[in-house]
Amino acid sequence: MKKILFLLIIVFTVTCFAKEQKFNFPPGTTLFEISTHTNIPVKKIVQYLKLDDQIEFNVSMQELEISNENLDKAIAEYHKNKTSFYTGIIFVGMGIVFVSLFITGIIINSLQHIGSPKKKKISVVQTSIGKVSAPKDHISSNGVVAAITAMFLHDAEEKDKIDLTWKRQPISMWQAAGMVENRRRGN
């Protein structure tokens, strides 16, 4: 951990105290060659040199009457404002992503309301044992009798502790079928 911290401190001090690189281009150098050498977009060089936007990029510095001092000032100004370009791109990109996710969330949330089934009316019938509730379409005298019977039997089971389960018999299926089981293996 100490080595990583030491390395980060060294990198930070080197970047803070690094001198600006001054370029000395020959007068016949074109804007496109300057862009390739400095890794700065051609349009940004044109913008910081305050040249016409419709200028050709294959024109030499001598024809545009640009000195190396002007070019160094433009490059220094670009590097000074470079972080604002990146932050703008980052914020716009992240904003687009989050807005699209928000809109997608709203659309997905609203899908539950589309084509929702109609709520069925529920009827409640009071009986001597309790209340019976069912959709109105399913309530009939037979349904009420069946519900009351089920409730009565359920209560009877609870009172008498009737144990109705399936138990497996400890019998071999081979014997039940009248066959002899072959227990030898590996033959």
- The pTM assigned to this predicted structure is 0.39
Would you give the DSSP letter of residue 17?
S
Q: Is residue 162 very low, low, confident or very high in pLDDT (cuts 50, 70, 90)?
A: very low
Q: Which of 129, 126, 132 is nearest to 159 (CA)?
A: 129
Task: Give per-residue pLDDT as tens, 43-88.
Answer: 888 888 888 777 777 777 778 878 888 888 888 888 888 777 778 8
3-state helix, strand, coil split of the chain in percent (to 5) is: 55, 5, 35
Residue type, 12: F
Q: In this structure, are residues 92 and 100 in contact, taking their beta carbons and an 8 Å threshold?
A: no
